[in-house]
A and B are shown apart, each in its own frame.
Chain A
Amino acid sequence: MQKNRCESQITDLFTRQNKEKAISGIWLGTALVAVITIILILGFLLKEGLPAILEIGIPAFIFNEIWTPTSETPSYGIYSLIIGTILVTIGAIAIAVPLGIGSAIFIAEVAPPKFREAVKPAIELLAGIPSVVYGFFGLVVLTHWLRISLDLSSGATWLAGSIILGIMALPTIVSVSEDAISSVPKDFRSASLALGATRWQTITGVLIPSALSGITAAIILGLGRAIGETMAVLMVTGNAAIIPDPIYNILSPIRTLTATLGIEMGEVAIGSTHYHALFGMALVLLLITLIVNLSATVILARIREGQIGSSRAPFLSHDHQNQIKSILLLVILAGLCLFSYQVVGIFGIAILTAILALCYGGLRILSRQSKEKIAFAIVTSATALVLFALVAIIFDIVSNGLPAITWEFLTEGPRNLGRSGGIFPAIIGTLYLVIGAIAIALPIGVGAAIYLNEYTLEGRLTRIIRAGNDLLNGTPSIVFGLFGFAFLVIFVGLGVSLLAGQITLTLMILPTIIRTSEEALKSVPDSLRHGSLALGATRWHTILRVVLPAAAPGILTGTILGIGRAAGETAPLLFTAVVFSKRYLPTSVFEPVMALPYHLFILATNVPGADTQKYGTALVLLVLVTGIYAVAILMRRHAQKTVRW
């Protein structure tokens, strides 16, 4: 009897250990999904793109500015597209960074706390507006306004693209920089004020330098969003594959890499040189984003190192820093002059310069207190402008969309190319896509987070997994679309189908879910784990019963953000899952579906005379996605208020 029990205990032990090992293996598998995906993406882009690049020749591909893939004598030079991408991004950053940081300063330091509490979540909510909605607004309102007020033949220009991308990047930049500024320890603020600095001097001398890494991260996030964006730029930049003449002509139409992929991928003959050249282009796009992300990581590391303290000499001596600052300022001013020359003409430039010179002269003689007042006025107006732009977009869509919302619109299929009837199949299609994507992404993402945080120590493997995850996170959504097409639709043979769309979306939202879940798991204190393990619970039991319940709110928030992103995305679905007009709902996952963002895109760009339907679709999409985000924000606030340890 005694012996028996002993044996059974030992076999128990064996199976228990094996079970633990098996569980750990499963989570390792999920953690590797992100790495495998990024390898597959690179592999397929290389496989499909490299032969074309080699055939065309690298110099001819990259540095030839003529992109005429469908003419009699095709030319596959993407130089003008690369320049277009860079120019649009620079313009967007020039708009979004000063406005965004100004608003962040206002919200964090100048505005009364009540204003902050009301505005902060609202701005976070705006970060969730789908890009196709911004593009739609840009197409129907902004380009018209530009055309009329600047007397152009078409308002679809570089300027329009930069404005829309700038507005899109603003919520992220404001929200992340504001977090960075308000998390600067109160001690620094007191120390500076106690030395007799004014509030403005404290902001520029201590708070912003201390928050620099966070603010840089915010700018990089915005930059990433601008470079990788497809739908909004496609809708507002005019898509002429030319280099602006002269190069600073901000009123010239322009075409980006992403827009070219979005426009041409759906119409290209599979296997043609054109097809392969598009993959080569995606490869270049991926490399550009990779370089941006890498340099960002390096810069961030340097900033942090300089602040936390290492014995290394500073990156640049003080005098050099000042020189660089003045040179940068001059370059920026010169750039602004050139750009505004296009818009206001030489006379306007003269007036602007005069005003600037007066301001500069005035600044020298003004007291610190007056400077502070002027600076506060500037950041206040920056905030007002940001809020105005965002409110204008929402107001336009709500006021024009509401009349379209009828019972019929929400419950019937489209008729006459969407000019009448409703959008029911698109709503359901979006729901199917999102539910499917989340059903696949959630277990994989949470599993990967569990593996990274609970089952392994930091080492080479975790570094690889994290790097893979970061790479995947920085991959432009249109690249996911191309990958989904080449891999899932063609190679695996799923065809253009609901399932292919769901998997593509899964891969795209996976990094978000992994990261937020990992943060949630990290915030669970070790004392809880130790308490459970000390009672003899297995590791898996501890995770399942103690850690996961405690981390659930955080994981749920990440999941909801993922849902929001999946619901609003268009680019990854263009070639994998969607059709424009379909009377019936899909009966299996192998059929294509309709989706709200795509429906809006086609209505806006290809169907003349469906104005109410366009606005109605935009409104439904806006409410759906921001509704999902609102739930996430409310849940996070609730979780923050009721932390139990």
Chain B
Amino acid sequence: MKQQNNALETQTLNLYYGSTQALIDVDIQIPKNKVTALIGPSGCGKSTLLRCFNRMNDLIPDCSLSGSILYHGEEITGRSTDVVELRKRIGMVFQQPNPFPKSIYENVIYGPKVHGMKDRKELDAIAEKSLKGAAIWEEVKDRLHDAARGLSGGQQQRLCIARTLSVDPDIILMDEPCSALDPIATAKIENLITELKEEYTVVIVTHNMQQAARVSDYTGFMYMGRLIEFDTTSVIFERPKEELTENYITGRFG
């Protein structure tokens, strides 16, 4: 029964890039409709773990893994998993805003079109809904057909979030979504993230501990490929059980 509340779950997940091990025995449960933050020093494996959930690691040659990853209780590491369908359900926002060199409108409807939607009215409706969902509609509604790359960095990142929302995923993975943005744009995205959890499960990788504290309900601390501690954000930041976590939180290393 417990599984029903977990959107994602890993069991003794080990991952290797060639002969280097990047993830060691990771067991994590990502709760539904919450924001979960993954923190830890550079190279600790948090982005790698994130990319396991939508199988983006498939794109890296000689990357191999063992253990299991469950999406709503269903195994997704096997060869028979429909990766294309999986990625539709589990969206991803990247570190650098990466809108396609197309218009704003075309960026948002790219996903639905890829999944076979042709009706122009439906596409228009999805575009509006997604852009509203990403809190960027008001800023771009009068210039939907302008090139997306003419937007500011923060706007581009919200457009990318809108693009992710357009295929109606139930989980959104965010890989340091604010690291290329200024503080004001960052604040906008953070507000957006807290709004998103009404409908979506969000997993966010971040370098910025204040950000993790501000936006997340749960936090996992990773170090050297291991998940050291996972708990509610308040526990992690106020009374962590592990010394490593406390040292990292208080800025003694990392």
Query: What residues of chain A have their CB less than 8 Å away from a CB belonging to chain B?
Result: 113, 185, 187-198, 201, 205-206, 209-210, 306-311, 313-314, 368-369
Chain A interface secondary structure, helix, strand, loop or mixed?
Answer: helix
Chain A nearest Cβ from B94, distance in angstroms: 6
CB distance from A546 to the nearest CB of B (A): 34
Contacts of B101 in A (CB 8 A): 188, 209-210, 307-308
Complex CA gap A194/B54 in Å reads 7
Whether, in the assembled complex, B81 has its beta carbon less than 8 Å from a beta carbon of chain A, the answer is: no
A198 B150 Cβ-Cβ under 8 A: no
A306 vs B143: C-alpha distance when bound (angstroms): 14
B110 on interface, CB distance cutoff 8 Å: yes
22 contacts between A and B (CB under 8 A): A185-B98, A187-B98, A188-B100, A190-B59, A190-B98, A191-B94, A192-B114, A193-B56, A193-B87, A194-B91, A195-B110, A195-B164, A196-B85, A196-B89, A196-B111, A197-B114, A198-B114, A206-B100, A309-B151, A310-B146, A314-B103, A368-B84
Measured CB to CB, the closest approach of chain B to A172, in angstroms, equals: 24
Contact in complex: B94, A307 (CB < 8 Å): no
In the assembled complex, the CB of B88 is this many whole angstroms from the nearest CB of chain A, namely: 3
In the complex where A210-B101, A314-B103 touch, is A309 in contact with B149 (Cβ < 8 A)? yes
A197 to B84, CA, bound (A): 6
C-alpha gap A205/B143 in the complex (Å): 22
Cross-chain contact B150 with A313 (CB below 8 angstroms):
no
Q: Are B103 and A195 in contact (CB under 8 A)?
A: no
- Interface size grouping (class) on chain B: 35 or more
* Chain A residues near B59 (CB-CB < 8 A): 189-190, 193
Q: Is B160 an interface residue (CB 8 A)?
A: yes
B87 touches A194 (CB 8 A): yes
B100 and A195 contact, CB distance less than 8 A? no
Chain B 233-250 interface mask (CB, 8 Å, partner A; 1/0): 000000000000000000
Q: Which residue of A lies closest to B150 (CB)?
A: A309
List the B residue with the shortest CB-CB distance to A202: B114
B113 on the A face (CB < 8 A): yes
Task: Decide if B114 touches A201 in the complex (CB within 8 Å).
Answer: yes
5 closest Cβ pairs, A-B complex: A309-B150, A196-B88, A309-B147, A187-B98, A307-B101
Task: Output the least CB separation between A210 and chain B (Å).
Answer: 5
Specify the chain A residue showing the minimal Cβ separation from B88: A196
| B147 engages A307 (CB within 8 Å) | yes
Shortest C-beta distance, B86 to chain A (Å), equals 8
For B111, what are the chain A residues with a Cβ–Cβ distance below 8 Å?
195-197
Q: A193-B87, A307-B101 are in contact. List 15 more A-B contacts (CB 8 A).
A: A188-B100, A191-B160, A194-B56, A195-B110, A195-B164, A196-B84, A196-B87, A196-B115, A197-B114, A198-B114, A306-B147, A308-B147, A308-B150, A310-B146, A368-B84
**Residues of B contacting A201 with CB < 8 Å?**
114
Chain B 116-152 interface 0/1 with A at a Cβ cutoff of 8 Å (1 = within):
1000000000000000000000000001011111110
Contacts of A192 in B (CB 8 A): 100, 110, 114
Other-chain contact of B56, A190, A205, A311 (Cβ < 8 Å): A190
Least distance between B80 CB and chain A CB atoms (Å): 12
Q: Which residue of B lies closest to A305 (CB)?
A: B147
B142 to chain A, nearest CB (A): 11
CB atoms of B84 and A369 under 8 A apart: yes
- Is the CB of B96 closer than 8 A to any CB of chain A? yes
**Chain A proximity of B1: nearest CB distance (Å):** 30
B72 contacts the other chain (CB 8 A) = no
A-side contacts of B102, CB under 8 Å:
209, 307
The 0/1 profile, CB within 8 Å of A marked 1, for residues 194-217 of chain B is: 000000000000000000000000
Question: Is B163 an interface residue when CB atoms closer than 8 A count as contact?
Answer: yes
Residue of B nearest to A211 (CB): B101
In the complex the two chains form, what is the Cα distance from A197 to B94 in whole Å? Answer: 16
Q: Kindly list chain B residues whose C-beta atoms are within 8 Å of the C-beta of A310.
A: 146-147, 150
Given the known interface contacts A185-B98, A210-B101, the answer about A195 and B91 at a Cβ–Cβ threshold of 8 Å is: yes
Bound CA–CA A48/B40 (angstroms)? 78
B44-70 contacts to A, CB under 8 A, are 54, 56, 59, 61
State whether A313 touches B87 (Cβ < 8 A).
no
A210: chain B residues at CB < 8 Å are 100-101
Are B84 and A198 in touch, CB under 8 angstroms?
yes
Most chain B CB neighbours (cut-off 10 Å) among A193, A194, A209, A311: A194
Which B residues form the contact surface with A (CB < 8 A)?
54, 56, 59, 61, 84-89, 91-92, 94, 96, 98, 100-103, 110-111, 113-116, 143, 145-151, 160, 163-164, 166-167
Contact A187 B96 (CB under 8 A): yes
What is the bound-complex CA distance between A313 and B145, given in angstroms?
7
User: Which residues does chain A contribute within 8 Å of B146, judged by CB atoms?
Assistant: 309-311
Interface core residue of A191, A209, A309 (most chain B CB under 10 Å)? A191
In angstroms, Cα B145 to Cα A306, docked, is 10
Report how far A201 CA is from B164 CA in the complex, Å.
16
| A308 contact set on B, CB distance < 8 A | 101, 147, 149-150
Complex Cα spacing A195 to B56, Å: 11
Q: How far is the CA of A536 from the CA of B219 in the complex (A)?
A: 58
CA distance A192 to B88 in the complex (A): 10
**B100 and A191: CB pair below 8 A?**
yes
Question: Which residues from B are CB-within-8-Å of A306?
Answer: 147
Across-interface contacts of A189 in B (CB, < 8 A):
59
Q: How far is the CB of B182 from chain A (nearest CB, A)?
A: 19
A368 to B85, CA, bound (A): 11
Q: Smallest distance from the beta carbon of B60 to chain A beta carbons, Å?
A: 11
The answer to whether A195 and B87 have CB atoms under 8 Å apart is yes
Closest to A201 in B: B114
Q: Are A187 and B94 in contact (CB under 8 A)?
A: yes
Q: Tell me which of B98, B114, B160 contacts A205 (CB under 8 A).
A: B114
Select which of A190, A193, A309 is within 8 A of B148 by beta carbon: A309
Q: Report the separation of the CA atoms of residues A113 and B85 in the bound assembly, to the nearest whole angstrom.
A: 27
Q: Which residues of B contact A314 (CB under 8 A)?
A: 103, 145
Q: Find the A residue at minimum CB distance from B145.
A: A314
Chain B residue at minimal CB-CB distance from A197: B114
B2 CB to nearest A CB, Å:
28
B residues in contact with A196, CB < 8 Å: 84-89, 111, 114-115, 167
Q: Is the CB of A190 within 8 A of B94?
A: yes
A96 CB to closest chain B CB (Å) equals 26
For A197, the chain B residues whose CB sits under 8 A away are 84, 110-111, 114
How distant is A457 from chain B, measured CB to nearest CB, in Å? 27
Q: How far is the CB of B99 from chain A (nearest CB, A)?
A: 8
CA distance A191 to B110 in the complex (A): 11
Complex Cα spacing A196 to B100, Å: 15
A193 to B61, CA, bound (A): 16
Shortest CB–CB separation between residue A347 and chain B, in angstroms?
37
Complex: chain B residue closest to A369, CB-CB: B84
Which of A195, A206, A209 interacts with B88 by CB under 8 Å?
Answer: A195
Q: How far is the CB of B247 from chain A (nearest CB, A)?
A: 33
Residues of A close to B110: CB separation below 8 A: 192, 195, 197, 205-206
In the assembled complex, which residues on chain A have CB atoms less than 8 Å from the CB atom of B166? 195
Note all chain A residues with C-beta closer than 8 A to B116. 368
Please indicate which of the listed interface residues A187, A210, A313 has the most CB atoms of chain B within 10 Å of its own CB.
A187
Residue of A at shortest CB range from B96? A187
Alpha-carbon gap, A314 to B147, bound state (A): 9
CA distance A248 to B144 in the complex (A): 44
For A368, the chain B residues whose CB sits under 8 A away are 84, 116
Question: Nearest chain B CB to A336's CB is how many angstroms away?
Answer: 27
Nearest chain A residue, comparing its CB with the CB of B89 = A196
Cβ distance A306 to chain B, nearest Cβ, rounded Å: 6
With a cutoff of 8 Å between Cβ atoms, the chain A residues found around residue B89 in the complex are 196
Nearest CB in chain B: distance from A201 CB, A: 5
Q: How far is the CB of A301 from chain B (nearest CB, A)?
A: 14
| Cβ contacts under 8 Å, B54 to chain A | 194
Docked complex Cα distance between A368 and B83 (Å): 12
B residues near A313, Cβ cutoff 8 Å: 145
How far, in whole Å, are A195 and B172 apart by their CA atoms in the complex? 11
A66 to B144, CA, bound (A): 55
Q: Which of A188, A191, A311 contacts B150 (CB 8 A)?
A: A311
* Least CB distance, A225 to chain B, in whole angstroms: 28
Contact A188 B98 (CB under 8 A): yes
- Complex CA distance for A188 and B97, rounded to whole angstroms: 10
